[in-house]
Structure 1
């Protein structure tokens, strides 16, 4: 199975190229005009008095600032005069009253995983990328991170699923998602108890916290609780498929928790009826 690489990319690769520089003395109206004209969500403020220092103003900062600034508008003002009053006010407010910083520029060669870690640690929605002269050359926002994640990370598709009783190892239900499954899949994971035991044994052997096993041509994902272990064979493990697998498990437990609890209370001698996976498996099939 050919996997898409998730390494080697640097900050410059996903940054939104080009920044719009304004000065501290520029008005808030100037800032809003640039953002509106260029369809951007943030501008960089350059402090020309202190070389190498940059600040930022985002659309969120502007909204929050204006919400406080115009919290109690004069009710006696007519709409036209109020509009003119607002424009005059925006012209009087200077960029330095809203800007945040000084910024720590992210070197253009910084690996993507370090950028994500830094943004997560600091709680930033965006960071500014700088060149070797400490000049801003681009911005990375959470939208850029999401877009990169969507492009670079693989999208998994389910092949087979097994629901196994955690305590006894009994296979409660199984389902094949594709009709064109290769014989190699069927030979190894044909739904027999021995095949299931082989998988779970490997999980226990590696780690009690192991959530997936990577094979040559497929991945095996796991979710488990005290009642059941859900084993999903897929062509590629992915974040999206993991979320769907957890949703599947929650729905399964909502539907069959009483029967599973009775099995536990009777020391697993109570007979169980056939567990129906439709329409639960539709959670995993939906794109």
Structure 2
């Protein structure tokens, strides 16, 4: 994944591209050995008959042992079916990263299984998300142009140019200084935002374009990188403009 892909990053681009798993006929001993040997905190369980996937994490192991596992006569040979949770929902490789993060947050998941055509192909963990955020969202970023567009007419109703952050020669009445990045603002506002309702940013001409739609107005920020800090500032600026 590179900077131009930030606006459309999908699960396949940030996932760990392999899955450590055991079959559903595995034992507790197999699980412990797999966790230790691979230095991981959870393992996926695959049922070849149904093609369903389950999961066993350290947390589930502790709960099992506390419940009745320690009383087992032959703990090592306990079936994983007595410990595993699921079947779990997989996430398609083409799912936007933002959707994956939302899914993990809503379900309080620390990891999700990524699949392609029904086959598990990778894993996204909170560690993968943090690496991605650190690489892309938390880069030092500077704003370049701030716009406010009327959603009904697509007319430009507010603008501020951060001239000190732009190397190009800029005139106050020059709108499309980025070679088309701003020529299509009306199309973006009318079609993409209204159709998706969830568009937050895209990459255009090696720049990030951040959107903050409201009922009547959309705030649009052109900057060098997408970042959490600028996202928050755009939200605050749009709220202030709409008052």
Cα distance change, pair 5–90 in 1 and its aligned pair in 2 (3 A): same
3-state DSSP of counterpart to 1:16:
coil
- In the TM superposition, residue 114 of structure 1 has moved relative to its aligned partner by 1.5
Please tell me whether residue 131 in structure 1 is matched to residue 116 in structure 2: yes
> What residue in structure 2 maps to residue 101 of structure 1?
86
Q: 1:149 aligns with which of 133, 140, 165?
A: 133
Report the Cα distance in structure 2 between the residues aligned to 1:67 and 1:155, rounded to whole angstroms: 44
CA distance, structure 2, for counterparts of residue 139 and residue 36 of structure 1:
18
| SS in structure 2 at match of 1:17 | coil
Match of 1:122 in 2: 107
* TM-aligned CA deviation for residue 55 of structure 1: 0.9
Where in structure 1 are there 5+ consecutive unaligned residues? 74-84, 159-180, 183-205, 219-234, 244-287
Q: In the aligned structure 1, how far is the partner of 2:115 from the partner of 2:8?
A: 18
Residue 136 of structure 2 contacts residue 226 of structure 2 at CA under 8 Å; is this kept in 1? no
- Select the structure of larger CA radius of gyration: 1
TM-score by length of 2: 0.55
- 1:146-199 CA deviation, whole Å, 9 max, x = no partner? 1111111143379xxxxxxxxxxxxxxxxxxxxxx99xxxxxxxxxxxxxxxxx
CA shift for structure 1 position 213: 8.2
Aligned partners of 2:114 and 2:123 also within 8 Å = yes
TM-superposed CA distance for 1:65, in Å, is 2.4
Residues 45 and 55, structure 2, Cα contact 8 Å, conserved in 1: yes
Tell me, yes or no, if the aligned pair for 1:4 and 1:153 is still in contact at 8 Å.
Answer: no
The structure whose RCO (Cα within 8 Å, separation 6+) is larger is 2
Aligned counterparts of 1:145 and 1:12: Cα–Cα separation in 2: 12
Q: Report the CA distance between 1:127 and its aligned residue.
A: 0.8
Deviation of 1:90 after TM superposition, in Å, equals 3.0
Output the CA distance in 1 between the equivalents of 2:12 and 2:225. Answer: 28
Could you tell me which runs of 5 or more consecutive residues in structure 2 were left unpaired when the two chains were aligned: 143-164, 167-212, 233-243
TM-score using structure 1 length:
0.47
How far did residue 240 of structure 1 move? 6.1
Spell out the pairing of 1:256-267 with structure 2 (5 A cutoff).
Answer: none
**1:27-72 deviations in Å (ceiling 9; x for gaps):** 1111010111012222121113x332111112222233234447xx
* Residues 1-287 of structure 1 aligned to structure 2 (within 5 Å): 6-48=6-48, 50-69=49-68, 89-132=74-117, 134-156=118-140, 214=221, 238-239=227-228
Cα shift readout 1:80-105 (whole Å, capped 9, x = no counterpart): xxxxx99x643132111111111222
Classify 1:157/1:23 alpha carbon distance in 2 versus 1 (closer, same or farther; 3 Å): closer
Runs of 4+ in 1 over 3 A off after TM superposition: 67-70, 212-215, 235-243
Q: How many Å separate the matches in 1 of 2:226 and 2:102?
A: 22
Do the aligned partners of residues 237 and 118 (structure 1) sit closer, same or farther apart at CA in structure 2, a change above 3 Å counting?
closer
